[in-house]
Structure 1
């Protein structure tokens, strides 16, 4: 049972088709909830993340809210798909337009507008950072996936990318290896916790210069892979810009979720400087 008779909303973000997308819980009135109560609600919902609006809109700032994110086991600094879901939920109630979310990693601007498939939301990440991925840590990760450096795409070297959460980014050269690798969720989770990777392990296959297929590893509870990861999509955009693998301004498409039966699509806009913008839809789950 959830605390204080709170009934979380449930949305699927970034769905490419009915039944797709990444489910997120949304609590629009969490100002009175304690940390323990928010954690209990997130565990009860059971999705990879639940978003909690911890301040109500005010007359002085009617579209500026504070927000926090919890997985079933811990608070996370930022969550892209839950941000999209919350923005759509707010736009349904207060009209489309721009919102500002005050998150644990900084203010994030979200634009909402009516689209062909309902309300679309676009968040612009905080200023990203891309750094080298320690060679020893990379080798440990690859061993956990049952692959080697020979399986990686030489044009897309591994990096650690941050646009709200830290994501190791690993790109495979062969589609069959990308589709077929398996992993021990507990072992991957242990490495992620050790390294402070609060987001996902982001693995990619480059379909073209402007399209990538993604598998985002996120072992938490019964979940092993995330169907759609907005923070990882922003980190991928930052990664491509930092390595000069795109010519900004550029747009790429990331498809995700097919490996877990929830097909998803994320649009990523990469400007020459500043935050990366990720766009998608969110629809209520009955």
Structure 2
């Protein structure tokens, strides 16, 4: 029998939850670890927990905020949040944010009877407001990104990425040029010309990881445009020790900024991103852009994975 102590106490064993984001079934979406109370945990302990779980990221939450610039409203709860992959800390993770917010809302619902809630996650890149709503028994979380940015990708770097992926320049969609986009984490965006090209993913793990470390990007965001508002995505994540991320909220936020910057979509729009289908873990991410607000909103459901 294992005894779980309050986090931060001697011999503490923190509660570790498993959720999957951007889906309504445990078999879909992107699994994430959630540690609701990481008080007293050091970097090595958090990394060890993330490595043991083996998910692309685990979110570690500590109630309250040490950032004097962050002031939560009376109806919001603030949490300091850190994210770890099995191999390193990550600046921001969208799917673990969605998973953590739904986990908190489920816990809070037990006391209030309502699954709706508002949180402020204080991350290393800035505060991220997260709203959870409930409809027909399903909880959905919407994160609002930090202010995004988009920059060019050097031709030599794109060529190296294509070589690592086993793609050619002809495999790219010429109407969606390569860029590096940021909305909490940096992502190299490459658009496939066909759905078949996107589906056939087999790459040189170490070669792509080396390029990504040099460019300081978290994933390579591979996309294919089905229509003006519907996209499909895949995200190699070798720098985190993961071949592919099944549903990537941070990359979806960055892609929303990319699509707006390039004028691919109206200033006020809602995009649907399908991800994980090729891995057998389908997920759906909703990306919302608002005119006059540079931030990007990413929404999705999340459910607990049975122990």
TM-score under structure 2 length normalisation: 0.88
1:177-197 C-alpha deviation (Å, 9 max, x unpaired)? 221242022221121112111
In the other structure, the counterpart of 2:104 is 90
5+ long unaligned stretches in structure 1: none
In the other structure, the counterpart of 2:301 is 281
SS of match in other structure, 2:49: helix
Deviation at 1:60, TM superposition (A): 8.7
Q: CA RMSD in A?
A: 2.1
In the other structure, the counterpart of 1:180 is 200
Change (3 A) 1:222 1:69: closer
In the other structure, the counterpart of 1:69 is 83
* Alpha-carbon distance in structure 2 between the residues aligned to 1:86 and 1:174: 34
Deviation at 1:54, TM superposition (A): 2.4
The 5 A counterparts of 1:22-101 are 22-56=30-64, 63-95=77-109, 96-101=116-121
User: In the alignment, which of 233, 247, 264 is matched to residue 283 of structure 2?
Assistant: 264
The 5 A counterparts of 1:124-273 are 124-197=144-217, 199-219=218-238, 223-272=242-291, 273=293
Deviation at 1:218, TM superposition (A): 0.9
SS of match in other structure, 1:173: coil
Q: Is the 8 A contact 2:77 2:119 kept in 1?
A: yes
Worse-matched range after superposition: 275-284 or 178-187: 178-187
Change (3 A) 1:147 1:16: farther
Q: Is the 8 A contact 2:275 2:283 kept in 1?
A: yes
Change (3 A) 1:175 1:77: same
In the other structure, the counterpart of 2:138 is 118
TM-score under structure 1 length normalisation: 0.94
In the other structure, the counterpart of 2:8 is none
